[in-house]
Structure 1
Amino acid sequence: MLGQEETLELIKMAQSGDEQAKERLITENSPLIKSVIRWFRGKGIENDDLYQLGCLGFVKAINNFDCGFNVKFSTYVVPMVVGEIKRFMRDDGAIKVSRAMKGLNLKINRFVDAFFVQNGRKATVSEIANHFKLEEQEVVLAMDSAKMPVSLYTPFDDGEEEGLTLVDRFDGQESEDFVDKFALRDIIDKLEERDKKIILLRYFYDKTQSEIAQKLGVSQVQVSRLENKILDTLRKKMES
């Protein structure tokens, strides 16, 4: 298994057009790809086709990964592979998520909420994996397969801005085009404490700008300006 430094070096080489570096990354990460696609077996797609779809998602991850982000490549890869398979299945027919996967997703969401209350921050993928004694990629897959958190991807209407989601604010790109919520969360974790609190309250806990303003002791107008500034920062980091 490749170390982090060697992986990043190979990614840079592959992004520069080195096909051998790309092939080595695929070969070395074949177990990871196979561990993801096994969740989709029995869904009407041949194993070889599943693996090819997984490799396609993996290559997209290589091409789009930003080595400057403090995000583990494996954490970035899993949603990209899942997304590629989901897109194929969506075009080919309905996607069915197992009861076990839905149940795990529910347990994870409850743990994340409890963790935030106790620690004042979102739990990392590693912390979730340790709690449930799972591999990190299994956590990522469970959270992705059973739909994104409602507060991130469903419209809200608080009387201030109608029908918008956090994803909608990123220049109208489709949610599928983003890294995934995990990379986004990693970026949010690196925000200044006030900015992080605004985003978490606004989009993860469905608070209105007025409610946030009251908590912070500022005006709703100030919260609105800060929110737009923070979202612009997040958008640039996700696109870079």
Structure 2
Amino acid sequence: MVTRAPTDDLLRSGEPPARTGQSGAVAPHAAKALSRELFTRLRAEEEGTARHQQVRTALIEMNLSLVRFIARRFRGRPEEWDDIVQVGTIGLIKAVDRFDVGRNVEFSTFAIPYIGGEIKRFFRDTSWAVHVPRSLQEQRIDLARARDTLTGRQGRDPTIAELAAHMERSVEQVTEVMVASNGYTTECLDTPTGTGHSDDHALALTARLGVSDPALENIENVHALKDLLGRLNAQEQALVRLRFGHGLTQTQIGARLGVSQMQVSRLLTRVLSGLREGMLTDTPHDRI
């Protein structure tokens, strides 16, 4: 015979029911039997009153064993146990607020999908290191199952085309899911890496990544200079080409162009000053 004393005494006294510690003393079978009666009482009370809140709290705390039961399925996850239980309790509260005793369905049957769904939603929203659309998160699981199935069947890793055919998706869609899956986990750039051999130095990942090429800094300057050279007249372009392209002296350039060495010097000084000023004053938009 199920004892009704703990809950009935608390409700008669007008005091709020015991919190998690005391409510845990109510066995699951006892909670199951008492829940139906309490739901009937809950619907009879006016929402927002102290009495309604007392009955609602009693229902939530008596059924916390459901949360712990479902949460145990996820014990292998890296998330904290208390966080999983807390999120599952949110699902339990939603189930209590939406349960209709007139449906002739056990509350535990109704509440389990709410609790499990809330926990799974928590994992979807927090487990990924990089946020990606929920649809891609769900397809990642389908992709992993398809890969396992085809690998076991073929004895090798499947190609993207084979995965797409098995999943009944296009190659582009499967590729998108594969790229998005890279956002599930990340590595710290300071994490030591190595092959594990004694002669291998455990360098940080940053030490194994490429460094900036100093020559890249000159790319913008080269493009800007190319535009500025195009603005020179034919004589000025020939002067620059002979001096810096062919490495001729000012005297040799003067002989080629039919001018004196002094004129070459003045022309060269004026051209270089104009180019230098253009490099310093032109905006990126002007250089395009």
TM-score normalised according to structure 2 size: 0.31
TM-score normalised according to structure 1 size: 0.36
- Larger radius of gyration between Structure 1 and Structure 2: 2
Name which structure has the greater RCO, CA cutoff 8 Å, separation 6+.
1
